[in-house]
Amino acid sequence: MNIGITCYPTHGGSGVIATELGKELARRGHHVHFISYDTPFRLREYHANIFYHEVDVPTYPLFKYPPYLLALSNKMAEVARTEKLDVLHVHYAIPHAASAFLAREMSDGAFKVVTTLHGTDITLVGSDPSFTGVVSFCINRSDGVTAVSASLRQETLDTFAVTRDITVIRNFVDVAEFAPRDSRELRGLWAQPGERILMHMSNFRTVKGVDRVAKVFATVARQVPSRLVLVGDGPDIDLLRRAARAEGVADRLVFLGSQDRVAPVLAAADLFLLPSSKESFGLAALEAMACGVPVVASDVGGIPELVENGRTGFLFPPDDVQGMARAAALVLSDDGLRRRMGEEARRLAEDRFATAKVVPAYEEFYRRVISGAVLSA
Which residues are at the interface with ligand GMT (CB under 6 A)? 12-14, 17, 92, 118-120, 123, 148, 171, 203, 207, 278-283
- Min separation Cβ 308 and ligand GMT, Å: 17
- Whose Cβ is closer to ligand GMT: residue 1's or residue 168's? 168
- Whose Cβ is closer to ligand GMT: residue 4's or residue 119's? 119
Listed in sequence order, the DSSP H helices in 161-256 are 184-190, 210-223, 237-246
Distance CA 363, CA 30 (A): 10
- Min separation Cβ 153 and ligand GMT, Å: 13
- Whose Cβ is closer to ligand GMT: residue 11's or residue 252's? 11
Which residue from 87, 107, 103 is spatially nearest to 95, judged by alpha carbons?
A: 103
- Min separation Cβ 283 and ligand GMT, Å: 4
Burial of 174 (0-12, 13-18, 19+ CB in 10 A): middle
Distance CA 160, CA 132 (A): 7
Contacts of 278 (CB under 8 A, 6+ apart): 119, 120, 123, 124, 207, 300, 301
- Min separation Cβ 68 and ligand GMT, Å: 16
Burial of 37 (0-12, 13-18, 19+ CB in 10 A): middle
Number of Cβ within 10 Å of residue 56's Cβ equals 8
Are residues 7 and 40 in contact, defined by beta-carbon separation less than 8 angstroms? yes
Distance CA 151, CA 51 (A): 33
Which residue from 255, 247, 193 is spatially nearest to 228, judged by alpha carbons?
A: 255
- Min separation Cβ 145 and ligand GMT, Å: 14
- Whose Cβ is closer to ligand GMT: residue 21's or residue 79's? 21
Are residues 314 and 341 in contact, defined by beta-carbon separation less than 8 angstroms? no
DSSP state of 193: T
- Whose Cβ is closer to ligand GMT: residue 15's or residue 80's? 15
Distance CA 189, CA 170 (A): 35
- Min separation Cβ 242 and ligand GMT, Å: 22
- Min separation Cβ 17 and ligand GMT, Å: 5
- Whose Cβ is closer to ligand GMT: residue 281's or residue 362's? 281
- Sheet arrangement for strand 167-168: 50-54, 31-36, 2-6, 87-91, 112-117, 144-147, 167-168
- Whose Cβ is closer to ligand GMT: residue 123's or residue 167's? 123
- Min separation Cβ 118 and ligand GMT, Å: 4
Which residue from 262, 5, 243 is spatially nearest to 115, judged by alpha carbons?
A: 5
- Whose Cβ is closer to ligand GMT: residue 110's or residue 361's? 361
- Whose Cβ is closer to ligand GMT: residue 43's or residue 249's? 43
Distance CA 115, CA 26 (A): 19
- Min separation Cβ 299 and ligand GMT, Å: 14
- Whose Cβ is closer to ligand GMT: residue 12's or residue 144's? 12
Distance CA 72, CA 97 (A): 11
Which residue from 346, 289, 284, 295 is spatially nearest to 324, judged by alpha carbons?
A: 295
- Compute the Cα dihedral for 284, 289, 292, 298 and give only its sign: positive
- Min separation Cβ 11 and ligand GMT, Å: 8
